Amino acid sequence: MELSRTTAAVQRYLDELRARPLEGDAPPVVRDLLERSAMRLHLLCATMIRRRYPRLARPPHNLNADEMLGVVVERLIKAMREVRPASVREFFGLANQHMRWELNDLVRRLDEHTPPLELDDPPAGASAASERDLSASARRMLEAFDQLEEDEREVLSLVRIQGLTHDEAAEVLGVATKTIQRRLNRARMQLAVLLKDLPQDGAAAGNSDGG
């Protein structure tokens, strides 16, 4: 299975990286690591934009997975001058974190530069207002995601954002498939509590990607 080969190769690069001292520039093995994991990072970028940040795929940003991957690779190169992920699990967790930070920054900048609506705007302005409301709800969901327990947050990211199957997520984390299912169920229950004050359509949007 390609996932197995990628996981094993990424772990070898991580082991080699951890044997090296921290230095000012990222060692060449970091670029080898990122090249080997590029397909999975690209999938993560594409899925996260499509499911969590669709606004950014539209004008004025027109963000796509290729562009996002380039930004994330630059972030990871800088990050791994100072950190050494010990496992595939930690590496993709680090990548996931930097993707969310970058996308959240883009959303904030987009909102800051959105002109205020005038009272005599045509009805089309209503959709812009609705989209800003949706953005606020999306940010609430992301804040709730960050409040989950680490195990639940990690599994939710692998399955809901990266698009791995339960079996694939179990392989990455080194746990049983039933453990993945239990953690997903706990994550859903925690999110239901954290987001109980959101409108029902907003809460449903957070769960519309399967399951």
* pLDDT of the residue at 90: 87
Task: Give the pLDDT band of residue 135 (cuts 50, 70, 90).
Answer: low
Higher-pLDDT residue of 15 and 126 is 15
- Per-residue model confidence (pLDDT) at position 68: 92
User: Is there a single domain that holds both residue 194 and residue 92?
Assistant: no
Same domain flag for 167 and 91:
no
End-to-end CA gap in the chain: 24
Domain end call among 78, 111, 144: 111
The predicted model gives 110-133 an average pLDDT of 48
**pLDDT tens, 68-119?**
999 999 999 999 888 899 988 889 889 988 998 898 888 888 777 654 434 3
pLDDT tens digits, 21-75: 777 777 889 999 999 999 888 888 888 888 778 888 888 788 999 999 999 999 9
- Residue 198 phi, psi dihedral angles, 5° rounding: -75, 150
Within-domain flag for 39: yes
Which tokens is 21 given?
């001292």
The pLDDT tens digits of the residues spanning 185-208 come to: 999 898 888 888 776 544 443 444
* CA 65 – CA 181 distance, rounded (Å): 28
Same domain, 143 and 104: no
Burial (CB count <10 Å: 0-12, 13-18, 19+), residue 91: buried
Length of the chain: 211
Question: Does pLDDT of 1 surpass 70?
Answer: no
Residue 177: give the domain boundaries: 136-211
Identify whether the C-beta of residue 22 lies closer than 8 Å to the C-beta of residue 78. Answer: no
Residues 30 and 92 in one domain: yes
The verdict on 56 and 101 lying in the same domain is: yes
Among candidate residues 177, 188, 178, the one with its CA nearest the CA of residue 153? 188
The verdict on 156 and 100 lying in the same domain is: no
- Rounded Cα distance between 27 and 81, Å, is 8
Q: Vertex 103, ends 197 and 166: CA angle to 5°?
A: 70
pLDDT tens digit sequence for 136-182: 666 777 778 888 888 888 888 888 766 678 887 887 787 899 999 99
Segments in the chain forming alpha helices (H): 2-18, 28-36, 38-52, 65-79, 88-112, 124-147, 150-156, 166-173, 177-194, 200-206
Of 16, 188, 168, 147, which Cα lies nearest the Cα of 89? 168
At 169 the pLDDT is 83
Please indicate, yes or no, if residue 181 is contained in any of the structural domains: yes
131 is a domain residue:
no
Gyration radius of the chain's alpha carbons: 19
In whole angstroms, give the CA distance from residue 122 to residue 114. 16
